Amino acid sequence: MTEVKEPPPGGGATEQPPPGVVVRQAEYGDRLAAVEPGGTEFIPYDQRHGTPLKLLWTWTSPNLEFATIFLGVLAVAAFGLTFWQAAAAAALGTGLGAVTHGILSARGPGHGVGQMVLGRIAFGYRGNALPAGLNTVAGGVGWFAVNSVSATFALATLTGLPKPLCLAGVVLVQVAIGFFGHNLVHTVERYAFPVLAVVFAVGAVVILGKANFSAPASGEGGGLGGFLIATAASFGYAAGWNPYAADYTRYLPPATSRRATGLYAGLGIFAGCTLLQIVGSASVTIGGDALGDPTGTFTGHMPSLLGNLTLLAITLGAICANAINIYSGAMSFVTLGIRLPVALQRGVAALAFGAIGLVVAYFGLDDAGHDYEAFLLVIAYWIGPWLGVVLTDQWLRRGTEPSDALLFDKGYRNLAGPIAMLAGVVLSVWLFSNQQKYVGPVPANWASFGDVTALVGFAVAAAGYAVLLRILPPNHGGNMAGGRKIM
């Protein structure tokens, strides 16, 4: 067991990471008017800055948007729940996703690398391409398109301008923020937070004041099956941020409290998601065409001035969400090891995914509601098994961490990770999927199962990884597998 020297409290500039770690050489610090250099490299101790508190608004702001509200709308209007059932599903699903987000975020300061780079521990250097590739598509293209459509509807409703023109303007702003990188993303979230919080808080008071909390369920489905589908969708929405977690904590000094880091990150997810989903569910009980014209119906319940301000807030919230989506989508892409100009590899990837996301969003302007419902469930289908592997690996290694050099060892293999994750995805989707594109045999015959695909996938992958790790122990390549004690 090789002991790795710990950095001094706060991360001293003279302390060096262990041999074999790829360290970012370019200066960045806390500058805003600079493009963040590099991509997957270890962040040097003298470049670390910030406190865990900033994670509260970093993760609350991107969830104060209409995509979150519409998830609450779906719970009542599409999944057939009453308001109180929908509120419970929102709290349960979001709570699970927020807890896992906090656990993953807490690892960033100690390792100084992004979430998908940390994933190499459980998946191996090459095997990590499975989750990194999925997250590249889900974040850099899928979520980016979903939120761009949300912002486009709001801006078009407010201004009366053509949707394609609104979409182009929104995408341009989002890509610019993601291109400049980490510091600008955090700053945008910080200054958007009070604006979004005030506007949505006032809007929530108006909507909740008009809501009929005792209204009967109106949509198809309902019952336990509908509740489980709504819970799974809420989990998919919250856990959709999980593969990004350490991307936004890796710049914190290594002595930063792990507990505070996880708490503020998880609280940001839970507060923003749960509140607006509840407001969305309440808005359906007032009346109107919640599925046919979701944005217009929601703001139509408000006085005209507040409705217009809410449309602006919806646009701003979607921009906040996509600044993170395109940034972390690009981070996942460079984790794949594809060669790009070293100095700007993350920035170049952000520009590319912005262009791809623009095209996907344009074709998603029609029938957005059904596409969104299916997308939320599919996101949970792969994130559940991925979490099963990552969290099981973390549990088995509790008290110690492997050498950080292992994260950059191209010869390091851990076949247990990708095999267990694939098994979790295939088995759970085949048997339990319950969404528009495919219904598995279990919910097809027993509707009360709803959609427990993510839960089953998590369990299968977690158990599979624990067993396979004994049968297929990791090959540590050219670097030592030693670790350091976590205090």
Place of tokens 């490299």: 41
Distance of alpha carbon 348 from alpha carbon 343, whole angstroms: 10
* Mean pLDDT of successive 10-residue stretches along the chain, which has 487 residues: 40 59 84 81 91 95 91 90 96 97 95 94 94 84 79 86 87 85 91 95 95 81 85 91 95 95 97 95 89 83 92 92 87 77 54 57 51 66 95 90 84 95 95 84 84 91 96 71 38
pLDDT value for 360: 55
| DSSP string for 293-313 | SHHHHHHHTS-HHHHHHHHHH
pLDDT value for 9: 44
pLDDT value for 220: 67
pLDDT value for 67: 85
State the CB neighbour count (10 A cutoff) for residue 221: 16
Burial-class residue 49 by CB neighbours within 10 Å (0-12, 13-18, 19+). Answer: middle
pLDDT value for 268: 96
Distance of alpha carbon 457 from alpha carbon 125, whole angstroms: 23
pLDDT value for 443: 85
pLDDT value for 180: 85
Q: Judge contact between 94 and 272, C-beta under 8 A.
A: no
pLDDT value for 364: 52
Burial-class residue 220 by CB neighbours within 10 Å (0-12, 13-18, 19+). Answer: exposed
Compute CA 122 distance to the chain's CA centroid, rounded to the nearest angstrom: 19
**Amino acid of residue 254:** P
pLDDT value for 457: 95
pLDDT value for 113: 94
Whole-prediction pTM: 0.88
